Structures are given as C-alpha cells and as structure tokens.
Chains A and B, each alone.
Chain A
Amino acid sequence: MSAISEEVVDSASIAAASTKRKSLWALALRNPAVIFGGVILLVMLAIAILAPYLGTVDPTRIDPASRNKNPGTEITYRLDDGSTAKRVVLMGTDSLGRDVYSRVLYGTRVSLMIGVAVAAISVAIGLVIGLVSGYIRWADGFIMRIMDGLMAIPGILLAIALVSIWRAGLITVIFAIVVPDVPRVVRLVRSVVLSVREEPYVEGAISVGTPTWTLMFRHILPNTIAPLIVQGTFIAAAAIITEAILSFLGIGIPPEIPSWGNIMAEGRTLFRVFPHNILYPGIFLALTVLAINIMGDGLRDTLDPKMSKKV
C-alpha cells in the first residue's frame, strides 16, 4: 500500500520535473542564435564522426609526386596493389603531398574533442572547488588565493613547460588549457553560491536540519547550471583557439595527428604561394568558434535574461 502511494508520487514529481526541463530546452530552441550556432556545430560534429566516409583519404599519407597542388587539381596516385587512379584534390595538397581536404576534416575531431574535453573538465573541477569555496567559509580564503595563483599562469607558457617535461600530445594540451580555465569557473560558481546561500529558502532548509551535502546538491547546485552552460561554451571556443595556437607553435598536437593548428603551421612557409594550406583550416576554425560563441550568446539570453539586458 505504502509502496504504491510512494510510486504514484514519484512518477508525478518526475513528470513535473521533466516537463520543466523540456520547457527550458524548448525556450532555448526558440532563440535563433542558438539554432544557428547549434546547426553549424552539428554539421561539424557530423564531419568529425563521418570523416572516413566523406571522400577522404588517409590524412597522413605522403605523396611526393603530387606536392603543393592547388585546389581543384586532378592528381594521379598509386593504390596499394600498384595500379594508379585519378582524383581531384578539393583543397589541394601540402608540401608533403598530403590531401588538405582529408587533413582538415580529420582535424575537426581534434578541435571538437579539445573544446568539449576542456569545457567539461574545467567545469567539473571548477564546480566542485567553487561549491566548497563558496559554502565552507574557512576554506574560502585559502582556496581563492590558490586560484588567484593559477590565474597568473599563462596557458601557452604552461604548455611549453609541460611539453618539455612530458611529450606533446592531446592530454598535455588539454591539461595546459584546463589549468588556467579552472579558476574562472571557480569564481563564477563561488559567486552564485555566495548569493544563493543567503536566500531564505536555503536558510529555511538549514533550519529544518538538512545535511550540508543535501543542501548543496538540492538547493544550491541547480542555480549554477545555467551560468555554467553559458560559461562552458565560451571555454570550449577559447580552448579550440588555444589548441590551434599551440599546434601552430609546434608545441601542441604532434604533427602526425592532423589538427587545424598544425595544418596551418605546416602551410606557413609557403603561405604566399599556396595560401590554401592556411585558408581552409582557418575557415573551419573561425566557423566553429563563431558558431560556439553565437550559441553561447543565445543560451545566455535565454538562460540568464538579466545579463543579456545589461550587455
């Protein structure tokens, strides 16, 4: 008997909760900026996943016979069984004869991965530290001074240092970008916690004896989600650019993995003669970052209307 009534209540509250969540997404999807940015990002995601099926060849395959071809040139290449075939290189080839089109498409994987990973990791770490810092007052001063210290570390210099200690790779790059981003998330979460913990409903929960952890997850944490989604998009966009910079400088993703940054780095020397090596990855990079930022702006407008009016 009691089990039944409990079930009824639970399903009702879940239904209510899910309708609420749906309405938030429905609201976000009504914003043209979110749709515009979201569609471009979905296309990029599809490109990253479907890269092998989009008429690409092995992006690392070197072909000395067809170096530095301009976009649209028809080249002859050798297959594994020794026969030859012809195909058109859409975005040309680089100075080692690698197909730029394939490299740019495969490079999408690295960039999106970096963007998502950096945003997710720095938000997750920042959220925990921010909650602790905002709620446990005696820990606050200590934590925030450490965060101030972390913010003083420039991401690019940290990456150079890390590469010299470890080796260039995805993990190193992600780590180097995450470290200076975490304090920004911590500050955001802390500020939300500081204002919400003074709300009467939080004090009401304290006075009915709610344990601290329940209090944080039930009453405080949900308030941080909307600003974190917005902050996460901007972190992702910045991370993609930082990765491209690091790879361009040769301290990011190792050259055997194509990324937009190192494609551009390799095209740098012959930029005047063969601009396509930099043009195409550059377009993809700009488009992706623009799409994320537009979507982030749109999300901020719907999730945090107060802020959009101020800006």
Chain B
Amino acid sequence: MSEAKKPVLEVRNLSVSLPAGADRAHAVENVSFTVSPGEIVCLVGESGSGKSVIAFTVMGLLAKALKPTSGEILLEGENILAADESRLRELRCTRMSMIFQEPMTALNPVMTCGLQIDEVLETHTKLDAAERKAKIIAILDRVKLPEPERIYASYPHQLSGGQRQRIMIAMALVLDPVLLIADEPTTALDVTTQAEILKLIAELQAGEGTGVLFITHDFGVVAEIAHRVAVLRWGELVELGPTEKILSRPEHNYTKMLISSVPSIHPAHRGVRRDGTTVLRTEKLGKTYSGNAFFQKARVVKAAVDVDLDIRKGETLGIVGESGSGKSTVARCIARLIDPTEGKVFLGDTEIATMSASKLRPHRRRVQIVFQDPYRSMNPRITVGDSIIEGPMNFGLKRDEALARARNLMETVRLDPNSLDRYPHQFSGGQRQRICIARALAMEPELLIADEAVSALDVSVQKQVLELLDEIRVRLNLAVLFITHDLRVAAQICDYVAVMSKGRIVEYGSAEQVFGAPRDDYTKALFAAAPGRNWEFGKFAA
C-alpha cells in the first residue's frame, strides 16, 4: 500500500540557469513538487514562467544553452539529472512520455502513423512484427480512433488535428509509462476537440494509474482536469495545492491576480441599447475561394455563406466560432482585405463590397483592423511612430500634425508618448497590441475590427487590453467587430454575438440570450465543450 503512495515523479529544489545575457539568471529556480500515480498535476503560468523548461528537463530534452544547476528529479526514485544519454533513451517512452502542443509538427509527415508507433515498439521491445501490429491496433482503439486499421496506414496529413493528437497520445502511452508529460496538448486545438482530448487523457490515466504532469496557461483546462495545481511565475513556484483550493481560495497575490483575470463565461450585463445609427450592415455576404490552377479542375471552398450582420455605433458585435468557421474571412471581407464574391457590405449608406480599389481608398479610413499576432502586425524596420502616422499621412495630414495625434493616442493606450521613435522589437506583446490599437485609432475609424486581437496574449495582459478596448469604445462611441474563438472573452466584451460554423451564422443574438439560452445545436455543443464552464472564477483583491 505504501508502495502505491510513492510518487512517480519527485522534483526537488530544481534550478535551471539561463545563458548569460538573458533577462534573468534562472529559467527555473528552486522548484519542488511531486506527481503521484494516478494524479494529474497542472503547471500553470504565463509565457516565460518556465513551465516548459521543467517539462523538458524531466525528459532530458533541455536545449544545450540551459543547464540544470542544482536539485534532483526522481523518476520512481531514480535521479534523471544524473542519468546518461543511453539511460535516458531507455526511460523515454517506457517509463515517461511526452506529448507536445503542435500535433502536426510532432509527427513525421512522410511516415504512416502506424509505422511511427511501430518505431517506438521496435526500439524498446522484443516483440515480433505481428505482435507489434496487434499492440498498435489495440492502443489506437484505446485512444478511440475510428477504424484503427485505416488509421494505421494513414499519413499524418490525412488526419484531423484532434486525430493527430490522439496518435501522439497513443504513441506516448503504448508502453504504459508511469509518467505522462503533456505540454499544452490542447492549445492548438478547437474547443470541441480540446474537450474530447482532455476527456481521453483523464480516462486513460485513471484507468492505468499514470501520473500526469500537465502544462497549460488556461485556467479553464486546469479546472477541468487537474487534481493539484502548481502556479509558476518567472521560474519560481509561487503556490502549490489541490485544484479546488487554489481556484477558490488562492493565497498568493499573483495567483489571485491570475485567476481574477480569467474572464467569466457568463456575459456581464452591459445594458444594450439599440439606438445608435448603423455603422455596418452586410447582406448575404459570401466568399468562395476557387483555385483556378492551370490544367487542373478548380477546387471550390465556400468560406462564408449568406452572412447578415449589423453593428451600430457604440456597440460590440462578436463573431465566435472554431477555426475554419469563416469568422476571419468575414472580417477581412468587411475590411476589404479580400474581395467578397457575393452579397453587399454597407458602410453607413455606402456599398463597398464591389467598389474598385481607387474608389475604395477614401473609405479605407472608416474601417480599421487589429490583428492577432502582435509580433507580425508592425513593420519591424520602421519606428512605431512612423507606423502610426502612416495612415493619417496617406490621407493628407502633415507629418507634425500626425505625430501630435500619435502622441495623444499613445497616451490613450497608456504608453509613453516619447517612445514613438523606438522600433517594434523594443516593446512587449501587450504593448505592441496597444500600439496597433493606436495605429487603428489614428485613422479615426467608425468601425474597429479586432481579429483575435487578444488571443496571443497572456491572461493578465489580455484583461488589460480588453479593458482598454472597451474603454475606447465607450469614449469614442465606436462600433467594434470582435472576432474570437474564446467564448469567455466573447462573453465579457460583446453586446451581440454571432456564432459561425462552416461559413454560416448559426445563431445570432444578444450576448445574454446566446450564452444564457442557446437555441442552435452547434452553439450548445460549443458551450458544453468550453473548459471549466462549470467553474466560476472568483474575483480576488490582490
């Protein structure tokens, strides 16, 4: 009995140093925790907190620039830090396994899935070919892949993202390791797929008694799956405890701040008024992509079909949906970054969907867009000031007037106006996203499109940017079109919500109505899949 209680993984006072010249001395400092058999321990933290470094140290896959300087990592009592490369190779897959974030790149694209799992068995077992195949089919069945025989012979590109992640899980679990490390395994997946994968991991580890070290930045996932939670900040473990306690009664200020930053899935009461003038209206908007290649039959993809939307002044309309649902296509059609193939887009009273590029130019000013990736949204070669004033100067504003406006806007987005002559790489992701907002506002737009504008940000930064966006909307009486896959974010910022699936709007109404009483089956399924939906994250005074 006491044998079963012995932890499979014990990390004692682990420190990993960063190379000289990094922003801090240690990637991980003095971290201790344990993972018991059958237990799921979540490592939670924002980017740069060192959670992935811990996972890679345990697997012995740490980049050469990083060196563990002190502490021990005990896998069933054996110190991994002292093990040599050949011993580590024996341990990987047989005793400990890892699944990664990106299921596409983690699999070899030129080998069938079956052979990739076979490779693991061939290396670590003495089974013959028939036994190996039987074992692989069995594990494929266990991770609930349909038609294991067909999957065995399939190449990774023939499978969906969720199926590929199942293959990764099958590969990790085929030799029944005692420890499974999952490094953000569901971050790249859609919410419904994520729910299935989380369920699968929980079932498998409960059945086999595997210990799981689960790395995530998403408190929804934590609430869903974790038994115990370890909160990391800047490489230090700030709080460790049972999930229920950490989420409802956090002690450390940082944990309190993090949990308070998680948006609630229940829409805030925002008092929607429908009295503003209509800024944007679409009528049966559609976009069909057709590959018109030489010598080939054209492939037709309907990215958006019959999209009817309207947004009034001072109102936020959210479009939510999974990847490939067409939400970004709609946004880009409205901004005329791509040309719609069907329907009409009215900006005020002007129809812009079919307008020629030269006639469209004066109307460009009226719709501005903030993109998802703050690292690619600004030209790295020109200063942020020049980026902000580019638009106003295109419309005839003098350079010094434009700069004066840019300085004002920097204050609006709470950045130092004197930093206009710096380059984008000198700013953090959240700061860059503020600059992008400033650049959009410099055009004095009527409609601001935020295309997954906060998805790449850490939860605490995300909260600040969301607050900023909402404050600007109120102050400038701006219409906002908010594209997101994150239901929690949508619930907090949107007055109206349109749910898209396969290019069509399946449900459209006020946020309270859509979130409170969804009518469409797809919407219901989407909300049911949202991780941690039953958990109301408290607001703590830090």
Q: Which chain A residues have a beta carbon within 8 Å of chain B's beta carbons?
A: 2, 5-6, 9, 12-13, 16, 20, 141, 199-201, 203-211, 214, 218-219, 222
Q: Which of A2, A210, A218, A222 contacts B391 (CB 8 A)?
A: A210
Given contacts A204-B377, A204-B436, contact A209 B364 (CB under 8 A): yes
Which chain B residues in 330-379 approach chain A with CB under 8 Å? 335, 337, 361-362, 364-365, 367-369, 371-373, 376-379
Offer 16 A-B interface pairs, CB within 8 angstroms, sorted by A.
A2-B398, A6-B399, A16-B383, A200-B376, A203-B337, A204-B369, A204-B377, A206-B364, A207-B364, A208-B394, A209-B364, A209-B391, A209-B443, A210-B390, A210-B394, A219-B379
Distance in Å from the Cβ of A19 to the closest Cβ of chain B?
A: 11
Given contacts A20-B381, A141-B294, A209-B362, list 14 more A-B pairs with CB under 8 A: A9-B400, A200-B372, A200-B373, A200-B376, A201-B378, A201-B379, A201-B387, A207-B335, A207-B367, A208-B365, A209-B365, A209-B394, A209-B443, A219-B379
Q: Are B294 and A205 in contact (CB under 8 A)?
A: no
Query: Interface size of B by Cβ–Cβ distance < 8 Å?
Result: 38
Q: Kindly report which residue of chain A lies nearest to residue B442, judged by CB atoms.
A: A208
- Cβ-closest chain A residue relative to B367: A207
Contacts A2-B398, A6-B399; A207 near B421 (Cβ below 8 A): no
Q: Which B residues are CB-close (under 8 A) to A2?
A: 398, 400
- A204 neighbours in B (Cβ, 8 Å): 369, 371, 377-378, 387, 436, 439
Q: Is the CB of B294 within 8 A of A203?
A: no
Contact yes or no, A207 B400, CB < 8 A:
no
Determine how close the nearest CB of chain B comes to the CB of A196; give it in whole angstroms.
10
- B183 on the A face (CB < 8 A): no
Kindly state the separation between the CA atoms of A12 and B386 in the bound complex, as whole angstroms: 12
**Chain B residues within an 8 Å CB radius of A12:** 421
Do residues B376 and A205 form an inter-chain contact, with CB atoms below 8 A? Answer: no
Cβ of B289 under 8 Å from chain A:
no
Say whether B382 faces chain A, with CB atoms less than 8 Å apart.
yes
Could you tell me the distance between the alpha carbons of A207 and B371 in the complex, rounded to whole angstroms?
11
Closest to A209 in B: B364
A79 to B367, CA, bound (A): 83
Q: Does B140 contact A (CB under 8 A)?
A: no
Q: How far is the CA of A141 from the CA of B295 in the complex (A)?
A: 13
Shortest distance in angstroms between A94's beta carbon and chain B's nearest beta carbon? 53
Inter-chain contact A5/B400, CB cutoff 8 Å: yes
A207 near B381: Cβ-Cβ < 8 Å: no
- B383 touching A205 by the CB < 8 A rule? no
CB B392 to nearest CB in A, in angstroms, measures: 8
**Is B303 among interface residues, defined by CB-CB distance under 8 A?**
no
The residues of B that contact A9 with a CB separation of less than 8 Å are: 385, 399-400, 403, 421
Counting CB contacts under 8 A, is B56 at the interface?
Answer: no
List which B410-426 residues lie within 8 A (CB) of chain A.
421, 423
State the 8 A-B residue pairs at the shortest beta-carbon distance, nearest first: A208-B391, A200-B371, A209-B364, A200-B377, A209-B394, A201-B379, A2-B400, A200-B376
- Cβ-neighbour of A209 out of B380, B395, B421, B436 (below 8 A): B395
Q: Which residues of A contact B364 (CB under 8 A)?
A: 206-209
Expressed in whole angstroms, the Cα–Cα distance for A12 and B391 within the complex equals 21
In the complex, the chain B residue whose C-beta lies closest to that of A10 is B399
Whether A205 pairs with B379 at a CB distance below 8 angstroms is: yes
Q: Mark B8-24, 1 if CB is under 8 A from A, else 0.
A: 00000000000000000
Compute how far the CA of A141 lies from the CA of B293 in the bound complex, rounded to whole angstroms. 10
Residue of B371, B385, B390, B395 near A203 (CB, 8 A) is B371
Q: Contacts A9-B403, A203-B337 given; indicate if A208 touches B377 (C-beta within 8 A).
A: no
Q: Is the CB of A207 within 8 A of B379?
A: no
- B380: chain A residues at CB < 8 Å are 201
A86 to B276, CA, bound (A): 101
User: Complex: how many Å from CA A20 to CA B335?
Assistant: 34
Q: How far is the CB of A197 from chain B (nearest CB, A)?
A: 11
- Residue of B at shortest CB range from A15? B421
Which residues of chain B from 486 to 514 have a CB within 8 Å of any chain A CB? none
Pick the contact of B382 from A5, A200, A211, A218 — CB < 8 Å? A218
Give every chain B residue within 8 A of A222 (Cβ-Cβ).
Answer: 381
Give chain B residues whose Cβ lies under 8 Å from the Cβ of A200: 371-373, 376-377
CA distance A219 to B337 in the complex (A): 16
Instruction: Determine the chain B residues whose CB is within 8 A of the CB of A218 once the complex forms.
Output: 379, 382
Mark out the residues of chain B between 395 and 454 whose CB falls within 8 Å of any chain A CB in the assembled complex: 395, 398-400, 403, 421, 423, 436, 439, 442-443
- Tell me which residues across on chain B come within 8 A of A141, comparing CB atoms: 294
> Which residue of chain B lies nearest to A223 when distances are taken between CB atoms in the complex?
B381
A208 touches B376 (CB 8 A): no
Is there an interface contact between B443 and A208, defined as CB atoms closer than 8 Å? yes
Nearest-neighbor residue (CB-CB) of A202 within chain B: B379
Question: How far apart are B218's CB and chain A's nearest CB, in angstroms?
Answer: 24
* Residues in B whose Cβ lies below 8 Å from that of A13: 383, 386, 421
**What is the bound-complex CA distance between A210 and B387, given in angstroms?**
11
Q: Give the CA-CA distance A222 to B365 in the complex, in Å.
A: 26
B residues less than 8 Å from A205 (CB atoms): 379, 390
Min CB–CB distance A236 → chain B (angstroms): 26
Q: Which residue of A lies closest to B388 (CB)?
A: A208
Given A141-B294, A200-B373, A201-B377, A6-B391 contact (CB < 8 Å): no
Task: Give bound CA distance, A209 to B399, whole Å.
Answer: 16
User: Quick check: A208 and B368 within 8 Å, CB to CB?
Assistant: yes
Q: When A141-B294, A200-B373, A201-B377 are in contact, do A207 and B395 touch as well, CB less than 8 Å?
A: no
Chain B residues lying within 8 Å of A210, measured Cβ to Cβ, are 390-391, 394
Binary contact track B517-533/A, C-beta < 8 Å → 1, others 0: 00000000000000000
Task: State in angstroms the CA–CA spacing of A172 and B372 once bound together.
Answer: 52
Q: How far is the CB of A285 from chain B (nearest CB, A)?
A: 38
Are B383 and A203 touching (Cβ within 8 A)? no
Residue numbers in A under 8 Å from B381 (CB-CB): 20, 222
Give chain B residues whose Cβ lies under 8 Å from the Cβ of A6: 399-400
Bound Cα distance from A16 to B391, whole angstroms: 22
Q: CA A211 – CA B360 in complex, angstroms?
A: 12
A262 to chain B, nearest CB (A): 45
Give min CB distance, B241 to chain A, whole Å. 40
Interchain nearest-CB distance for B400 vs A (Å): 5
Per the bound structure, the CA–CA distance linking A207 and B364 in Å amounts to 6
| Min distance, Cβ A131 to any Cβ of chain B, angstroms | 16
Report the minimal beta-carbon distance from A268 to chain B, rounded to whole angstroms: 47
